[in-house]
């Protein structure tokens, strides 16, 4: 790393992490991209979020909001952009393009989520940028990827869910399909992008040669469809909505209790025998109608014999009581609301709700699920305001003086 870049890292006072010393240019918006770079930032990388000076990331307008004395700030935006530096750059202006090239020469990774071809039209595609920095890892997240007949199509999260097959599998058999209740297309693409980026970075460090990491929302969602692909290729069986049921494992699903619902997955003979004894009817484990996994897997048997038995047992208890009864003996978990999850002592023990500064307050947000034994987790930093670190980043990485900075502002480049 250059002396300037080391100084930039020191100024940021990042906590130690496996990606400490790695610098990332984040030219992404909303979630499919910002979540990827957030993971890299949480792991110690210096991430520089790039926004258009006149059109900052519109996720800044997404609720919920936290009101400070000066302004209204998006907690949604903060959650996916914590621990980053912020600059503004107009990539359509000649000065902005030139400035990006200067930054690229000093960084390790660039992440973008434009439609394929956009960066090339700007003269800032992979080939152009690697002429400046041959070691550059260029991560591109899009709806359909950089190759194939659909590569130029616009896409959102729901596009990935629809085109990747997951939407058609979700919901109930007697109703229209239902989208997964979160932005799984954006999130899964970001996760794969982070994995691919780190893999490409390792290769660049070994060979001195960068490459494109090409991640598609459709591809990412497809890998989340469990056994649907092989059910079709092996048996020509098309997966369809099953509600809360598993395609072949039973009992394995949602069951009502006194104050809500629990997930119970005691389908093996061992777990089934323990459950029967636990609820005072050990003889049910040897009932010839339901005494084996194969018998309990039968849909009719599961619906008419097993389900009523479990509902009778569980209906006498609350979610918490059932979790206490099950303990560490059988797989049973309360189906929790987000409020219950946020207040869960186990989640607290895992440091999965972290406090992030926003508008002079500390707001709880999900933490990093990657726990490394050689690293202590440290406090998170706020998301940057648009262009908050223009002076610092451009001075340290591009050698821009204060006078030049003013000229670039006047030209609309930053």
Q: How far is it, in rounded angstroms, from Cα 376 to Cα 10? A: 18
Measured in whole angstroms, the distance separating CA 286 from the mean position of its chain's CA atoms is: 45
Structure tokens at 323: 């979790």
> Could you tell me if residue 208 is left (phi over 0), alpha (psi between -120 and 50 degrees) or otherwise beta?
left
240: tokens are 């369809």
pTM of the model: 0.93
Residues 6+ apart with CB under 8 A from 57: 29, 30, 34, 49, 51, 77, 81
pLDDT given at position 234: 98
**Rounded Cα gap, residues 213 and 138, in angstroms:** 6
Q: Can you give the pLDDT at residue 5?
A: 53
Q: Pull the structure tokens for residue 135.
A: 């070691």
> In degrees rounded to 5, what are phi and psi of residue 27?
-105, 60
d(C-alpha 358, C-alpha 324), whole Å: 38
CA angle 68, 73, 77 (to 5 degrees): 150
Q: Which two tokens stand for residue 341?
A: 């999850």
Residue of 26, 57, 108, 186 with catalytic role: 186
Taking the C-alpha atoms of residue 40 and residue 23, their distance in angstroms, rounded to an integer, is: 9
Q: What is the mean pLDDT of each run of 10 residues along the chain (414 residues)?
A: 52 69 96 97 96 96 89 95 96 96 97 97 98 98 98 96 97 95 97 98 98 98 96 96 91 97 97 98 97 96 97 97 97 97 97 95 96 89 95 93 93 94
How far is it, in rounded angstroms, from Cα 354 to Cα 361?
13
H or E stretch covering 361: strand 361-366
**186 has catalytic annotation:** yes
């Amino acid at each position: 790393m250059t002396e300037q870049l080391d100084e930039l890292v020191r100024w940021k006072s990042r906590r130690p992490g496996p990606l400490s010393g790695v610098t990332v240019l984040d030219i992404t918006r909303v979630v499919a991209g910002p979540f990827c770079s957030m993971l890299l930032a949480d792991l110690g990388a210096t991430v520089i979020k790039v926004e258009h000076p006149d059109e900052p990331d519109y996720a800044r307008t997404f609720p919920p909001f936290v009101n400070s004395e000066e302004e209204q700030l998006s907690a949604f935006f903060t959650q996916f952009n914590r621990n980053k530096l912020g600059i503004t750059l107009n990539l359509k202006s000649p000065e902005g393009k030139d400035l990006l090239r200067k930054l690229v020469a000093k960084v390790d990774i660039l992440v973008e989520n434009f439609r394929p071809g956009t960066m090339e039209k700007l003269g800032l595609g992979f080939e152009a940028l690697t002429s400046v920095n041959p070691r550059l890892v260029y991560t591109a997240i899009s709806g359909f990827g950089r190759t194939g007949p659909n590569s130029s199509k616009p896409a959102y999260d729901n596009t990935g869910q629809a085109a990747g097959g997951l939407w058609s599998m979700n919901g109930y058999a007697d109703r229209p399909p239902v989208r997964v209740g979160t932005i799984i297309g954006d999130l899964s693409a970001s996760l794969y992008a982070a994995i691919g980026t780190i893999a490409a970075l390792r290769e660049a460090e070994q060979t001195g040669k960068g490459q494109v990491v090409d991640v598609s929302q459709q591809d990412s969602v497809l890998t989340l469809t469990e056994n649907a692909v092989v059910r079709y290729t092996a048996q020509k069986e098309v997966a369809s909505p099953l509600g809360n049921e598993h395609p072949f494992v039973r009992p394995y699903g949602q069951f009502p209790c006194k104050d809500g619902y629990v997930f119970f997955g005691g389908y093996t003979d061992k777990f089934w025998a323990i459950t029967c004894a636990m609820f005072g009817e050990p003889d049910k484990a040897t009932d010839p109608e339901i005494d084996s996994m194969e018998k309990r897997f039968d849909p009719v048997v599961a619906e008419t014999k097993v389900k009523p038995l479990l509902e009778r047992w569980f209906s006498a208890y609350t979610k918490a009581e059932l979790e206490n009864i099950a303990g560490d003996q059988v797989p049973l978990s309360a189906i929790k609301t987000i409020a219950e999850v946020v207040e869960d002592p186990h989640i607290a023990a895992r440091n999965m709700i972290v406090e992030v500064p926003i508008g002079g307050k500390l707001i709880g947000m999900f933490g990093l699920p990657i726990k490394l034994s050689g690293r202590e987790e440290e406090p998170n930093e706020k998301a940057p305001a648009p262009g908050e670190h223009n002076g610092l980043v451009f001075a340290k990485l591009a050698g821009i003086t204060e006078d030049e900075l003013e000229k670039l502002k006047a030209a609309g480049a930053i």
